[in-house]
Amino acid sequence: MNSAETSKGLAVVTGASTGIGYELAKCAAQDGYDLAIAADEPQVQEAAMKLREFGVEVEAMQADLSTQDGVRRFVAGISALGRPVDLLMANAGRGLGKGFLDEDIHEVQRVIDTNISGTLALVHDIGNRMRASGRGRILFTGSIAGFMPGTFQAVYNGTKAFINSFSLALREELKDTGVTVTCLMPGATDTEFFERAGLTDTKLGQAKKDDPAFVAKIGYDAMMDGEGDVVSGWKNKLVSAAANVTPAGMLAKQHRKMAEPGSAKN
């Protein structure tokens, strides 16, 4: 008997080589789901080896999901498995620090293409398959960063504001179709994000961060329960609640204190 007959189903996870994405994939593997995972770095193959230790099948692809070609190749790889997708965890994301005018515009575009364009292209394809079959669960990794203007992190926060909003709109559109949509909104998490985004010299980069396994479990459980959105951790819940009643200009000033280059020294 093959895995397709014995497993719970197939889970697709992006940005799964490390951090929250890997931990989301681990949650699904522990729950008996076979996996199709992708990331834009070769470490995704190492992640696949570790995930296979849970006794599930894992198909791993190194693909840059900020590009149309990367999304097409990953979708083709999923289609080749000949199985419906039960869980889609759209976690791939990229950050970028410094002031907007000081950033490389190509890096700016890559953040937008990873966090928004590539994510939407993947969800559009797999979401249509789920709706046609009448079942499926989608999890977006948004962020509490989407609740506030991100001074010195403006593009990233803007993309997460989009994802937070989009996920809830899509959830309502898919009401009564058998497909649920959930948005995980974490705060600062102990991953490679801050180093890759050039934020290690900021207060935000140096601050205490949440455990990615803890964050992923909260998001995974919320998805499985069909919840619309979830903020991980009580401190982040307080931050998000305060952001909803604080003037945007004040939030921008507060964010500057956390994300301005060199702020870790102050």
Catalytic machinery residues = 156, 160
Instruction: Give me the residues paired with residue 19 across strands.
Output: none
Residue with tokens 């790889």: 77
**C-alpha to C-alpha distance for 111 and 61, rounded to whole angstroms:** 20
Q: How many residues does the chain have?
A: 266
**C-alpha to C-alpha distance for 58 and 51, rounded to whole angstroms:** 7
Longest dimension (CA), the chain: 61
Backbone angles phi, psi at 208, to 5 degrees: -65, 140
Helices (H), 34-100: 43-51, 68-80
Closest alpha carbon to 193 in 92, 109, 118, 110: 92
The 8-class DSSP code of residue 230 comes to E
**C-alpha to C-alpha distance for 147 and 157, rounded to whole angstroms:** 8
Residues 6+ apart with CB under 8 A from 255: 148, 149, 150, 151, 152, 153, 157
Closest alpha carbon to 178 in 145, 211, 215, 226: 226
